[in-house]
Each structure stands twice: as C-alpha cells, then as structure tokens.
A and B are shown apart, each in its own frame.
Chain A
Amino acid sequence: MITVENLKKVFSGKDGDVAALNGIDFSLDNGDIFGIIGMSGAGKSTLLRCITMLEKPDSGRILIDGTDILSLKGEALRKARRQMGVVFQGYNLLMQRTAAQNVAFPLELAKTPKKEIEKRIKELLALVKIEDKADFYPSQLSGGQKQRVAIARALATSPEALLCDEPTSALDSLTTKQVLGLLEEINKSLKTTIIIITHEIGVVRSICNKMAVIDGGRFVEQGSAEEIFADPKSEITRLLLGISEAAE
C-alpha cells in the first residue's frame, strides 16, 4: 500500500519561485500499475525524485504500509529505500560491473550473504530473460538488454513497489513492447506495485490499470485508466490522447 498525501515542492530560482509540485495525492493498492503521464515540465521528474527521496518535498507525506518514509533517517531510511526499486530512463548501470554484478549490487549494499546473492542473481536474470548475458558488461548490451538488467537490479531486494522513470523512452517500439510486457509479467507473478512515469500515452494504454495526468505540478485527472481513456475530462488529457492518435 502506497499513499501520497499533499506533496508540495517549490524551487526558488533567479526568476522567482516555481511550484514544481502543487499538492499531489494518490493512493495505490498492492498490485496496481499506476501510470503518471504529463508533458515536459509538468512536474513528473520532481514527483519521482520526491518519491525516491532524492529530493526533499517541502510538505506532504509518503506512506508505505503506514510508515511515513519522509520522517525516516539513517539506517531506517536506507531500509525503506530497499522497499522501492527504481528503474531509470538512462539505465544508470554501473559500467565497470557485469550484468550479474549489477544485479548483485543492491544486495551487497544490504550485506546479503554471498551464497544468497548468487542464488538471487540466477533467479532475477532468468526472470528478465537475460541469463545468457550474465557476464557481459553494460557497454556490450543493447538498450533493451540494459533496461532488463536494470529491472532485475531494481527487483533484487524484493521491493514492494517498482518506480519506473520513463523506462522505455530511450527504446525503439518493439523493445518498448517487450519491456512493458516484462513489467506486466513481473506485476502478475510477484504482485509488485508499479508506478510508471512517462510522456508516452501508449505506455499507459498498454499496461496501466490506474492513471493520473499531471500538469502544472498537480493531477488534473486521476482514476481508472479504462474510464479516463473512455471519457477524458480535462483539456490536457484530451490533448495527450489527441497527440497520440494523430501520431499513430
């Protein structure tokens, strides 16, 4: 269970204050796939950075199973972070480590025993169907393969939720389909809650059961993906759908 309440973040710059997040609320049940869609500058990245605690929000709460992770510090915070796997647009793999060693990395950080790490690596690489590339370095892998390794790495500590920041934006359409299929499979088999931040309406359409449209740092529309696609209420949603239809 993830609940985000009234998340706010203001950036002060030379040209005055910019409200990047203007009161974000949402609540997810275990097993949801939640798509957050918006255009550039809508606040997507800030929202993700706040949920992953790379950025400190000015106010609001982020509850994971009832615990406000924003109130945590030190070891408790690091433990809470392991409850959330993050998949990045740019993969962010360690370039000097093999695929297997990348997957092992979060487990090493958590001081998991070596034997168990070996076992987990095998399971995870099999899960993302990339066992044959275990000893390859990221520079030897394609974009899709890198993202698979990144997904395996994000799942290493068996998190409750997977946070994906534009996970397919750097991939071609076929690879995008495969990666989204993989996320859906993971969601089904592991019951992992997935949050996907994206600007591609197709991503939301293909795998999300819940969605929100972000604009100007607030959700202008949120709810069941099916209902929103059938009857978009806000101008921006219609625009996003229109753009996508025109492009297709």
Chain B
Amino acid sequence: MTEFLAKYGPLLAQGTLDTLYMTVVSTFFSYLFGVPAGVALSVTKKGGIAQSPRFNAVFGWAVNVARSIPFIILMIFVIPFTRLIAGTSIGATAANVPLIIAATPFVARVVEQSIEEVDRGVIEAARCMGATDFQIITKVLLVESAPGLLRGLSISAITILGYTAITGAVGAGGLGNLAFRFGYQRYQDDVMYTTVILLIVLVCLIQWLSNWAAAKADKKIIK
C-alpha cells in the first residue's frame, strides 16, 4: 500500500486535480452560455413570454444537432478551433474547449426544463404588475426555478465529469487518462481501480453538494 502510494500517489493526486479543474471550468462556462440559451429556448416557445416559434424551431434544431454528435467525434472535429482558442490541443486547458462546446447544448436543455416548471400564473401576475420581459426572466423565471436549476447543475457537472474521462484518452490528463494509460495500455489494474474509486467519490461529492444546496435554496418545501 505504502509502496503503491509512493509510486502512484503524486500521479493520482495530479489526475484528480486535473479532472476537477476540467469539470469546474467546463461546468462554469457551459452554464455561462447554457443558461441564456435555455432561457431563450423556453421563452420563445408558443405561449412563452417572448414567443417566436420560428426562432424556437431553428434554435431548438441547432441544439439537437449539437447534442447528437458523439463527444469523441466532436472532440476531434473541433481540434483546429481548440488550437485557436487554447494555443494547443493537448492538456487539461485545451480539453475545456470541446467540453464546453459539448456541454452547453446539454445544459441549455437542462435549464429549459427547470424554467418550464415555473407556475404560469406567477408569470402572468408579474406581467400584470408591469414587469418587462427581462424582469420576468431575471426576477421570476430564474429565481423561482433556482432549486430546480441547482438540481440540474449536478446532472450537468456529473455528465461533464464523464466527458473529461473521454478527453483523457487523447492526452488531456485527468483520472480518465490515468485509467486509460495504466489500466488499458499497461494492464495495471490497481491504478485503474483506484481511479474508478476516485471518480465515484467525486460523483458522490457533486451530487451531495448540489442536493444540499437545492434543499437549502427551496422555500417551497416546508422544513
């Protein structure tokens, strides 16, 4: 055990840090782009506060197309763009580029779903009080759906965490990369199992954190 830790400890620690780094950065940016996109998908629907069925159809179609490209293909497909943004296509920072591109449409759908759950009556009440579209979005839709958004955040972050393992296969570092190099290429099961355990711990941690935050944020449930 001590021998194992001495030999692979630093590698595993670095891998965990890289995975966390990719997950956090990619989740952050995919929400930065995904929240406005999800709001746009929801409010432009028929009966929405800014309904525009044509925009909704085109935008929804684009999101579906982006979501249907398998991540491993997308990752290779966007390499030129990744080089342009990150200066290289290797390493954790470069991996963030395809991760964000793949996760943003996913996040948009997750956000859309939460926004849809806001009571229509409350939106109409805000309308009657003279709220602008922008005020309805920032003060009603995003606030009333906050607990749902937080629960969705765990789904997105865990999905992104899964994606980071795939980027590991093409040299982005992280736990996926370790599992691939040691487990698949060198048949070192102990390293692979350790990475799997570390990934499980990370997933549980994300889920627990977001459940806690969502429960704390939700005033609709009597505590």
A-contacting residues, B137-189, CB 8 Å: 139-140, 143-144, 146-147
- The total of chain B residues at the interface (CB under 8 A) is 25
A81–B222 Cα distance when bound, in Å, is: 33
Question: Cβ of B124 and Cβ of A92 under 8 Å apart?
Answer: yes
- Pick the interface stretch among A105-113, A182-190, A225-233: A105-113
B-contacting residues, A59-110, CB 8 Å: 77-79, 81-82, 84, 86, 88, 90, 92-98, 105-106, 108-110
Instruction: Point out the residues of chain A lying under 8 angstroms from B144, CB to CB.
Output: 94-96
Question: Cβ of A94 and Cβ of B130 under 8 Å apart?
Answer: no
A139–B147 Cα distance when bound, in Å, is: 15
Q: How many residue pairs bridge A and B at CB < 8 Å?
A: 74
- Which residue of the partner chain A has the closest CB to B123? A92
Question: Is there a chain A Cβ closer than 8 Å to B66's Cβ?
Answer: no
Question: Is there a chain A Cβ closer than 8 Å to B121's Cβ?
Answer: yes
Question: Is there a chain A Cβ closer than 8 Å to B131's Cβ?
Answer: yes
Determine the interface band of chain A, counting residues with CB < 8 A from chain B: 20 to 34
Known: A92-B121, A94-B140, A140-B222. A54 touches B129 (CB 8 A): no
Question: Cβ of B125 and Cβ of A86 under 8 Å apart?
Answer: yes
- Which residue of the partner chain B has the closest CB to A150? B125
Question: Cβ of B122 and Cβ of A52 under 8 Å apart?
Answer: no
Known: A81-B129, A157-B129. A94 touches B124 (CB 8 A): no
Contact of B130 among A88, A92, A110 (CB under 8 A): A110
Instruction: Point out the residues of chain B lying under 8 angstroms from A94, CB to CB.
Output: 122, 140, 143-144
Question: Cβ of B121 and Cβ of A54 under 8 Å apart?
Answer: no
Where the two chains meet, the residues of A that have a C-beta atom closer than 8 Å to any C-beta of B are: 52-54, 77-79, 81-82, 84, 86, 88, 90, 92-98, 105-106, 108-110, 137-140, 153, 157
Q: Can you list 13 pairs linking A and B with CB atoms under 8 Å apart? A: A53-B128, A54-B124, A77-B130, A81-B127, A92-B125, A95-B219, A96-B143, A96-B144, A96-B217, A96-B220, A105-B126, A109-B130, A157-B130
